[in-house]
Chains A and B, each alone.
Chain A
């Protein structure tokens, strides 16, 4: 009795699933692209700034999902890359080098270098040790930023200028900056999705489930994870670049361990491993945070348990919930 329906199910499953997988991201980016229109039709202008901030964190959460969701590596120091990106941007703007085409290569280079060095050490460990050592490296950068007295030290660094893009002043208007961030987010999303579907991505996914099998098949698991770690760090650095330009301010708080924890929360909230889940999670997190903080001063007391309950009772996060509703249960 059980084999015939099971066979029918496997034959039928891929088509609708593939549609949902494409439908959700298209819907997501479509809605985001229309947001400035909603503001011109009467939504409060603060919404656009909030959404911009959410999309910046979405880039960081997306990059974390590559190693956490796809690679199975729980990094508790991911905010370090956000901070490095923001600080490099802040320092270069302060030194009169505000051009994005100049800043971004430096951000990517430094993040890649930091990821390669720390990743080579972190990836020698597994499980809780990996979590702790990534946390330690994150804190190291945090204290380094605090010690940067030439650039504000503990107080942070205020920026009096925004980056230009190829000489164009795209970041000076809210809408212009919004679309630049949206374009960056879409670009990063497509890039990471292509990576996940590639030969490299397949091995990364396989190693999450069964590293022993992957190594006896002839792959160096640590090396593959290191590549993922470096790419992930670089993408998070891009988020840092936009964050500095968004807040016109950088401070050590950008890379505190709490920030790393928030990034993990965002990713888990949206649903790990799906990539657009991380984006949805980041947006939901920041909107919920904003709404609750308007409600009461002690919003964290509500927000904390809310997130815990949500994660406990929805397996697969928001994307898992949507999939369940769309697929009517499934296997």
Chain B
């Protein structure tokens, strides 16, 4: 198989005596959707923070497209093609939906910080942004301030903002958190339409979604990966059943 896009090598992180990330190694191949599951407090979001650069691991290496990015700032990782979404919706409430997505387009534009040209009327920003909105089904809400969207729409906007970066890999931190059944189904459909185009690391609680989407599943418990592999194999794993899936009956 081709070289993995994202590789974690023995990543460790402690908050005081608490080991939140305990010797985690995993990899995501190009176009692969790798799901990361585990009970609450297992350290899933902390791991995503370390991959995106918002937290620094104590030790270990994070490789992205062959380069060690462990010491890079979040903005440098983003510019190398590593996008992320947030568990708690993180948009710019006062900017319009289109402007939110245009931020990502702007980041990879030739002059991301030009001082004088009007950004709101800039077709070079708006056209790709609108395309990303169309991909997630939000095109008709483009002019609405992001703060006024429904919760499900905000989840879709998160995704569009990540797509606008034209990333190689996307870290999805519970994209289905708090959405209703109907909207959840639409988001799952959307995610599956993105499969194969981006390497994705998906943190998710919704087991139905995970087993519908994932090519590979890793199970994180108390900061350790206790199982990793094909969805069917992980589902059958005794340790996993005891630690996690068993809870669901």
Contact = CB atoms under 8 A, between A and B. Distances in A.
Given A212-B54, A215-B73, A219-B107, A198 B116 contact: yes
Contacts, number: 106
A194 B116 contact: yes
B197 interface: no
B144 A202 contact: no
Contact of B79 (A6, A200, A218): A218
A216 B78 contact: yes
Interface SS of chain B: helix, strand, loop or mixed? loop
Contacts of B77: 216
A199 B91 contact: no
A219 B74 CA distance: 9
B75 A215 contact: yes
B118 interface: yes
Given A213-B92, A217-B107, A200 B115 contact: yes
Contacts of B161: 213, 217
30 contacts: A6-B148, A194-B115, A195-B115, A198-B118, A198-B119, A199-B106, A199-B111, A199-B125, A200-B113, A203-B106, A205-B95, A206-B95, A209-B92, A209-B94, A210-B90, A210-B91, A212-B90, A214-B103, A215-B74, A215-B75, A216-B54, A216-B78, A217-B103, A217-B104, A217-B107, A218-B75, A218-B104, A218-B108, A219-B75, A220-B75
B74 A206 contact: no
A197 interface: yes
B114 interface: yes
A300 B27 CA distance: 67
A220 B103 contact: no
Interface of B: 52-54, 73-75, 77-79, 83-84, 86, 90-95, 99, 102-104, 106-109, 111-120, 122, 125, 143-144, 148, 161, 165
Contact of B115 (A198, A212, A219): A198
A221 B54 CA distance: 13
A35 interface: no
A202 B106 contact: yes
Contacts of B92: 205-206, 209-210, 213
Interface string A183-200: 000000000001101111
Interface residues of A, number: 28
Nearest to A221: B75
A224 B95 CA distance: 18
B168 to A, nearest CB: 13
Contacts of A194: 115-116, 118
A170 B11 CA distance: 68
B246 to A, nearest CB: 35
Given A199-B119, A213-B90, A218-B79, 8 more contacts: A194-B115, A198-B114, A199-B111, A199-B117, A209-B94, A210-B90, A216-B78, A217-B165
A296 interface: no
A96 B44 CA distance: 68
B113 A216 contact: no
A10 interface: yes
Contacts of A197: 118-120
Contact of B103 (A6, A10, A203, A221): A203
A95 to B, nearest CB: 34
Contact of A202 (B78, B103, B143): B103
Interface string A215-237: 11111110010010000000000
Contact of B113 (A14, A199, A205, A212): A199
A201 interface: yes
A275 to B, nearest CB: 15
Interface centre among A201, A202, A214, A224 (most CB of B within 10 A): A202
Nearest to B144: A10
Contacts of B117: 198-199
A198 B121 CA distance: 10
Nearest to A194: B116
A201 to B, nearest CB: 7
Contacts of B53: 216
Contacts of A216: 52-54, 74-75, 77-78, 83-84
B129 to A, nearest CB: 12
A216 B76 CA distance: 8
Contacts of A199: 106, 109, 111-115, 117, 119, 122, 125
Contacts of B118: 194, 197-198
Contacts of B107: 217-219
